[in-house]
Amino acid sequence: MRTQLYPPIAPFNQGMLKLDDIHTMYFEESGNPQGVPVVFLHGGPGAGSSPKHRQFFDPAFYRIVVFDQRGAGRSTPLGELKDNTTGHLVADIEALRRHLGIDKWLVFGGSWGSTLSLAYAEAHPERVLGLVLRGIFLCRDSEIDWFMHGIRNIFPDHWKTFSEFLPAEERSDLLTNYYRRLTDPDPAIHMPAARVWSHYEGACCTLLPDESLLSSHFDDDNVALGLARIEAHYFMNKIFQPDNHLLDSIGRIRHLPAVIVQGRYDIVCPPITAWDLHQAWPEAEYIVVHDAGHAAWEPGICSELVKACERFKETLA
C-alpha cells in the first residue's frame, strides 16, 4: 500500500464561485474527472489551501476538489468576517457540490478542517461517502483556553512572545485584545498582530522545529492575516455553535466509515479531543502517530493520511 504523497499535479478545472454579495470562493479540481469525488477542507479557520494538498490522493482514482473557505487564501475578500460563520461555510460546501454536479463525496479535513468536516457531515450525512480526519479540533471552551493559555506549559518561550506582544494591561484577556487589533482596519495595527499570532501557531505545530514550514506558510502575510483574524473571530464566537455541539450530534454520522489520525504530541490540538471523539464514535478507525505533533506534513501523519485514502479506494471503487 502506498504511504507517500503522490507527485505534484495541476488542476484540470479552476474557478471563482460567487457565494453572495460579499464573498467569492476559489475552487479547483484535479485528478480523474470521472473519479470518486473527494473534497479537501483546509485548516485554520482561515489558513487556505495549497497545491500540495492535492497530493494526498491517487489522481487516477479520485476527482480531487480543493477550495479556499470564506475570507481565506484565494477567496475574496481576504480576511472578511461579515457573513462568515460555520453555518455559512457548511452552506458553501453544499453550494460547491451542487455547482460541480457531485452527488456524494469523501470528506477530508485536518485541524479546523476536521471541525468543519464534522459540521458538514452532521448537516448533510446523505452527501458523505466517508471521512478522513486529522488533528481533531472541536472548538470547545477548554480547547480555546488551551490554545490561548495552556500551550505555555509546553512552549513557554513561544507563548511568552505571543502574550507579550500585547501591553501588560491587556494580557489578562489575550483573545479579546488580539481580536480588537486583528479587526482594526489599519494594516499598521492588524498586520503585526496577525504575524505574531500565525507564527505562534506555526512554531507549536510540529514535534521538532520546522523553519521551512514557518517561512513558507505561517510567516506569509496573506496566510497570517486570514488565519489570525478568522481564527480569532471563530474563537470569540465559539464557532457559532453550542459548546460540545459536534459531539452531541455525532449520532447523525456514526453509520459512515471514518478514519481519525492523531499525533501523540500534538500541542495545538491535544489528543484528548481526538480521544473524546473516538469515545463518542467507536466505529471510527482511530490511529495515533507516536512520533508526531500537529502538522499534516510530519512523516508519520502524512503516511497515515495517504494510507487512509488508499484504503477508501477499496470500498469506494
Mean pLDDT of the chain: 97
**Cα separation, 264 vs 293, whole angstroms:** 6
DSSP label at residue 239 = G
Other CB atoms within a 10 A radius of the CB of residue 255 amount to 8
Residue 16 parent element (H or E): strand 13-18
pLDDT exceeds cutoff 90 at 181: yes
Is the model more confident about 216 or about 208? 208
Q: Of these residues, 75, 266, 278, 303, which one is catalytic? A: 266
Structure confidence at residue 74 (pLDDT):
97
Instruction: Name the region of 281 (left: φ>0; alpha: ψ -120 to 50; beta: rest).
Output: beta
Cell 513557554 found at: 156
Structure confidence at residue 92 (pLDDT):
98
pLDDT exceeds cutoff 90 at 211: no
Q: Give the pLDDT band (50/70/90) at residue 317.
A: confident
Is residue 53 annotated as part of the catalytic site, yes or no? no
C-alpha cell at position 167? 501591553
pTM listed for this prediction: 0.96
How confident is the model over 121-125, as a mean pLDDT? 98
How far is residue 301 from each of residues 105, 165, 186, 230, 257, measured CA to CA in Å?
22, 32, 39, 26, 19
How confident is the model over 143-169, as a mean pLDDT? 97
Is residue 294 annotated as part of the catalytic site, yes or no? yes
**7-38: buried (b, 16+ CB within 10 Å) or exposed (e) per residue?**
eeeebeeeeebebeeebebbbbbbbbeebbbb
pLDDT exceeds cutoff 90 at 174: yes
How confident is the model over 60-66, as a mean pLDDT? 98
DSSP label at residue 3 = -
Is the model more confident about 317 or about 304? 304
C-alpha cell at position 161? 512572545
C-alpha cell at position 184? 482594526
Among 146, 147, 139, 92, CA closest to 247: 139
Structure confidence at residue 216 (pLDDT):
79
Is residue 111 annotated as part of the catalytic site, yes or no? yes
pLDDT digits (tens, 9 = 90+) for 233-275: 999 999 999 989 999 999 999 999 999 999 999 999 999 999 9
Percent of the chain with pLDDT over 90: 96
Domains and CATH numbers, the chain: 13-140+241-316 (3.40.50.1820), 142-239 (no CATH)
Q: Which residues contact 284 (CB under 8 A, 6 or more apart)?
A: 131, 133, 258, 259, 260, 277, 278
Structure confidence at residue 137 (pLDDT):
97
pLDDT digits (tens, 9 = 90+) for 19-37: 999 999 999 999 999 999 9
pLDDT exceeds cutoff 90 at 212: no
pLDDT exceeds cutoff 90 at 214: no
Q: Of these residues, 30, 111, 163, 198, which one is catalytic? A: 111
pLDDT digits (tens, 9 = 90+) for 217-232: 898 999 999 999 999 9
Structure confidence at residue 52 (pLDDT):
97
DSSP label at residue 82 = T
Cell 505561517 found at: 218
**289-317: buried (b, 16+ CB within 10 Å) or exposed (e) per residue?**
beebbbbbbbebbbbbbbbbbbbbbeebe
Structure confidence at residue 221 (pLDDT):
92
pLDDT digits (tens, 9 = 90+) for 36-51: 999 999 999 999 999 9
Structure confidence at residue 245 (pLDDT):
94
**Cα separation, 235 vs 165, whole angstroms:** 19
